[in-house]
Amino acid sequence: MSTHEYDELQIGAKVHFADPERVAGMSKAAAAVYRVENLLKTADGATLYTIKSDAEPFERLVSASDLNRG
């Protein structure tokens, strides 16, 4: 599935990491399902997402290319 489809992710969408091996400290969270909490537009027009998993006490800031639909 192409990550270009994720430009349209909405708050509340369920996602997971496309390549969890690339993310440091990802052992138990590798298979975790995350929820999109917020969308942030950058100056160049790209979208970043804050995502949250119930398995972690913090939010992560990621780009669309880091995600697959959960």
pLDDT tens, residue by residue, 29-68: 556 789 999 999 999 988 899 999 888 889 999 988 888 8
Whether 5 shows a pLDDT value over 50: the answer reads no
Evaluate whether 51 touches 38 at the Cβ level (below 8 Å).
Answer: no
Q: How many domains does the chain have?
A: 1
**CA-closest candidate to residue 11, choices 52, 42, 45:** 52
Domain range holding 10? 3-69
Residue 17 has pLDDT above 70, yes or no: yes
The 8-class DSSP code of residue 11 comes to: T
User: Model-level pTM?
Assistant: 0.73
CATH of the domain at 46: 2.30.30
Residue 20 is predicted with a pLDDT of: 63
Distance CA 66, CA 64 (A): 5
Phi-psi region of 21 (alpha: psi -120 to 50; beta: other; left: phi over 0): alpha
